[in-house]
Structure 1
Amino acid sequence: MNRIREKFLNHELSVGTFTQLTSTVAVEALGRTGLDYVLIDTEHSAVGIEFLSSAITAADAAGIVPLVRINDIARSKVLQPLDYGAQGLIVPAVETVEQVRRLVEYAKFPPVGNRGFCPTRDGGYGYDEISMQGTDVYFAHANQETLLIPQCETVGCLEHIEEITAMDGVDGIFVGPFDLSIALGRPMAFDCDEMRAALDRILNACHKNNKMAFIFCGDAQAAKARAAQGFDSVTAGLDIMALVDSYRAMVQDIRG
C-alpha cells in the first residue's frame, strides 16, 4: 500500500519535502530522515526524463514514497512518471473542472480513466506479484494506490473545489499557499481573512469527500500549525533550502 494513503486511512499525518537538487544521492539521503515521501519537482527545477526515472528508482530503494510534480496537463507528462513508478502526481495551476477530468483520463486505468498501458517499471514490467494476477487486478491496484493530487493555487480551482474533490479518480488536493495568496490579491499574507476562508473551504471539501488535504509549509512550525488545522499531509521545505540553511548556521557558529 502507498504509505501516504495508508497513513491517511489510519488518521496519521504524513510528512514530505520537495527535492530540487537534481541528485539521486540527495533523494536517497532523504530516505534516511524519517520522511514519508519526496516530491520530485519538474515545475520549478531543471529535471529531465532520465533524472526523473533515476530519482524515482532511488526513492524506492531508500524506502521513501516518490511523488512527482508535473509541469503541464498533457498525456505524456502524466503517463511517463507513472510508468517509471511514481506513486502519485501533484498537478500545479489547475483552473477548471475540465482540466481535472482530463487528468483523471490520463492518470487512471479503466473503468475510472483511460491511462495508456504497457508493461513498465510501475508493474515490474509485467512480472511483479500484482501484475501476474492479470490486468483487472493491476488496474484496480494502480487506480487505488497511485495518487492524483490537483494543486489548488488559483481562483478557478478554489471556486470549483467542491466539484473537483467529489470526482472519482481525484485522491486529494495540494494547497500551494504562495500562489494561492497571490491569486487572492494578498501576496504572502497567509493568515489574512481571505486565506483563512480559502483554506477552510478546501479542508471542508476534502473532508466531506474523504480526500486527502496536502499543503506546502516553509518550516516545521508552520507544518505543525497546518497539521493542527486539519491537513492530512504537510510538505515541509525544499532540500536545497535545507542545505543552505544548515551550512549558513554552521558557518555562523564557527565564525562566532
Structure 2
Amino acid sequence: MLHGEIEISAFLKARRAALDPAEVGLPDGFGRRRVRGLRREEVAQLAGISVDYYTRIEQGRAPAVSGSVLDAIARALRLSHGEMTYLRNVAVPRRRTAGTCAPVPAQTVRPAVRELLAAMDPAVAAVVLGRGLDILAWNGAGARLSFDLEALAPARRNTALLVFLDPAARERYPDWEKKAEEVVGNLRADSGRHSDDPRICEVVNELLDRSPEFRRMWAAQGVYECLRGTKRMRHPEVGELTVTFESFRLAADPDQVLVTYTAPAGSASEAALRALSRPAAGAAVAS
C-alpha cells in the first residue's frame, strides 16, 4: 500500500497497544488479556461511545466523525497535542484519483526569505524546510552544518533521506537514534497534513524499501514535531559542536519552516559555526 493511502487504523491500534491499562484505571481490564494495551471496548468505554462506533472509526469506516468524539478518543488514549492534530487530519476521508497522490505545486522559497537567510549573522546556521522535510534553501553555515547541501542533487536534499540513507549520518549525529526518531515523528506529522503529497509519498516509500530502521520506527506510528532543542553534532572539518535549534513556521508560506542553529557567544561551537559560514577552499558560493 502506498503511503498516500493513509488509514486511521494503524495509528489507533498502535496507540491502544502502547497504553498501559493501569494508567487509565483498568488494572485488570475486562477479563484475561492476550494482547498488550487496551482493547477496543475499553477505549470505547473511556471515550463514552459505543463499541461498534469506535470499531468503525478505527477501521476507517466512519464517514464523518465529530470533533467532540475525536477529542474523547484522544483523552481516552492520552494523546499528545501533536498526536491529536494527526488524528484529526487522518480521520477525515479524502477523495483520491485512482489511488494515487494528487499533484501539488512545486515548492519554492520567496526571494524575501532568501534575502533574510543571506542577511543573518555568520554564526547563525539556517535552512528552510518544506513539505516532506525537503531542504529548500540555506545560508552559508546552513549549507555545511549537517551535510554538504550544495554538492547534493536537489532530489536528495531531504532530511529524512539523508539521516537514514547517507552513510555519514551516524558519524555526523552522535545521538543518531534520537535524531532518527525525531525525523520520523516530524515526517508522520507532515504526512497527516498532506497525505496526498507526491513528494511525501516518494520519500516515505523509498525509506520503507531501503531502511530497516525506518520501517521499524514508522511502524510504531509515533507523531512528534520536534521544533526546538539542543543537538550534538560531529563535523569532519570543525569537530564536535553543540547547537540550539528553533523552528519558525513562515506565516505567508505555512508549509515551510525556517530552522536556525545557534551557540552561546564566545563558545567553541559558535566559532565552529562561523568557520562553516566561510566557503571551503575552492568551493563555489551559491547564488
What TM-score do the two structures reach when normalised by structure 1? 0.23
Identify the structure with the greater helix proportion. Answer: 1
What TM-score do the two structures reach when normalised by structure 2? 0.21
